[in-house]
Structure 1
Amino acid sequence: MIGNTSPVLEDARGAVDVGTAVGTVPGRDPRRRWWILVAAGAVLLVGSYAGFVLTATGQALENAALRGADQVAPRSLAESDDALAGITVASLAVACTVIVMAGLLRRSVPLAAAAVGTVVVGQVVTQVLKQFILPRPALVTASEAYTGNSFPSGHTAIALTVLAATLMLVTWRVRGVALFVVASWAVAIAGYTLESKWHRLSDTLGSAAVTLVVASLASLWLHRRGLVRTVGTGGHRARIVLVAAPLAIGAVVSAALGVFLLVASDDVLGVNPVTEYNVYLALQSLAAAGSAATALALWWSWHRIEVVTPPWRRTRNVAARD
């Protein structure tokens, strides 16, 4: 008598039945989601650059926010600086190493390559755009500290691409937890870049755009290799309520607060300490909303799907009976 304790079943040709895999079903083709995000990212990149960097009004508004950030309490500023200082070349290398190891632990070299490629390519694209392709013309009178080009934000790009890689790496069962933990950090980083005056609102939106495009193209590459499957999640809607819904509510509230502060403030382009601080709070809220919306979009693109990886092989118990 031969017993097999492994839950994985194999047919005579060695094909693997992966249990919950149900294939990409009509009406749930994940490629459509990723192409939508590629298009959305491209529109966001062009829109944020054209609206904030290539117009005098956009530059003046973001300069007002930078002046408003001068009023941030020293303790809050120190916390913000410390959080941003933790993102270095060394910490990025460590993050990439962990991502590769996670992909290999799932026994998938393509998954490891797609995940770490999202982070690395996202950073390369961000720096190339900032240094060589997208200049910041001098359209308004400002001090030298406010004229340097910072579009897109490298720090925000790192945070959001690490989030994208994480959602790609994990299985659907733990994706909600991963979203809650990593998205909280990524959204905070976007806000910190404005608080510490390292970046502007447009920079964070540009980074979100780059992340959407790069992460979606990496996901499409995995799908092209036949490594993406849909899963039957059963009754797990509670995860959406507990994780995705609060993030969505937070994004809406932050966006509404940002718009309200801009509308309620008098002469947002004028030189007034109170107004400048309100503009800073408004744009920081919009930056948080943009990053939260990006996190939700990345989660949605992988909702009820995951990467197929080889199953663990359990030792087969062989028992002989006369």
Structure 2
Amino acid sequence: MTTGPRTVEREQGTRPSGRDPRRRWWVLVGVGTAVLLASYVGFVLTAPGQALENAALRGADQVPERSLAESDQALAGITVVSLGLACVLVAVVGLARRSVPLAAAAVGTIVAGQVVTQGLKRVVLPRPALVEASEAYTGNSFPSGHTTIALTVLAAALLLATWRTRGVVMFVVASWAVAIAGYTLESKWHRLSDTLGSAGVTLVIASLAALWLHRRGLVRAVELPRHRARIVLVVAPLALGAVVSLALGVLLLVASSDVLGRDPVVEYNVYLALQSLAAFGSGATVLLLWWSWHRLEVVAPSRRATAVPGDGA
């Protein structure tokens, strides 16, 4: 028996996992959907949510010019051309691994992320005027296209990476993907809810892509010695950064009592709080994507072997 969705690699040092990995991705589909809905309902469809995010936008006016120039430059680098080049590079890497389905899933994750994000923003999800604000603060920007690009590119990179190279990929791409969310708030291109909505979209689409690859029999369990260096140098710093960002955001929000008083100090604190929470949202998304592929990788066709009887995939 050589084909079918139960196909896994069987070589020295590897064996099928006793747990069905599809559960991880279905969990993330649910988590992503919940994050998307909660961020939209909580921030966009409520007056307190809109007031809080508007205060953060006013607080961003106090960002030093040098920092603002850096964030503007980072965001300006994400264009239709650079997105197209990223898709081409992803496709080339997928084909270099001799897998058209892998290339399609990786590119599809990026493309579908933008289709869904732009469709939600421009057609499906309106932003009602619930609080008095200037025209600059009333436009709908939910979810953030830039944040979706950053997170889906990382998700595509994780699909393409083998178990051995995943740590290097995360080290190179993760910090950029997390930083983009904060930059969008700093440059006043987006709100916290926009970045959280993008995180939800990414979790859903990346998980569905993984489930599709699994259904095609292209996902295998890896039972090799643990890469402690990856945990110490990549995963642990990401987790620590996410925890610190969450704690800082919560503390600053607690200290900001009156967001409607137009106090510059309060508004700047709210901006810092929401920027920290945006970094936490993207950092947590990266960690969840990594967790969903822990001890798993996509099998290149030339390395696929016979199905293992009794495998529960």
- Fold in common (TM above 0.5): yes
1:141 match: 132
Q: Identify which of 247, 251, 263 aligns with 2:254.
A: 263
**1:1-322 alignment, distance < 5 Å:** 19-20=11-12, 22-27=14-19, 29-311=20-302
Give 1:115 shift: 0.3
Change (3 A) 1:16 1:120: closer
Partner SS state of residue 306, structure 1:
strand
Change (3 A) 1:238 1:16: closer
Give 1:16 shift: 10
Q: 8 Å contact 2:252–2:270 — kept in the other structure? A: yes
Q: Which runs of 4+ in 1 moved over 6 A?
A: none
Give 1:18 shift: 5.2
Alpha-carbon displacement from aligned partner over 1:152-178 (angstroms, at most 9, x marks no partner): 000000000000000010101111111
Give 1:243 shift: 1.1
The CA distance in 2 between the partners of 1:24 and 1:274, in whole Å, is 56
Partner SS state of residue 301, structure 2:
coil
Which structure would you say has the larger Rg? 1
Any stretches of 5+ residues in structure 1 without a counterpart?
Answer: 1-14, 313-322
Q: 8 Å contact 1:116–1:165 — kept in the other structure? A: yes
1:316 match: none
Q: 8 Å contact 1:21–1:230 — kept in the other structure? A: no
Alpha-carbon displacement from aligned partner over 1:202-225 (angstroms, at most 9, x marks no partner): 000000000000000000000000
Moved more, 35-44 or 302-311: 302-311
Tell me which amino acid in the other structure corresponds to 1:101.
V
Give 1:240 shift: 1.3
CA RMSD of aligned residues (A): 1.6
Change (3 A) 1:17 1:264: closer
Residues matched between the structures, number: 298
Q: 8 Å contact 2:9–2:299 — kept in the other structure? A: no
The CA distance in 1 between the partners of 2:109 and 2:221, in whole Å, is 22
Partner SS state of residue 220, structure 2:
strand
Q: 8 Å contact 1:20–1:231 — kept in the other structure? A: no
Q: 8 Å contact 1:230–1:304 — kept in the other structure? A: yes
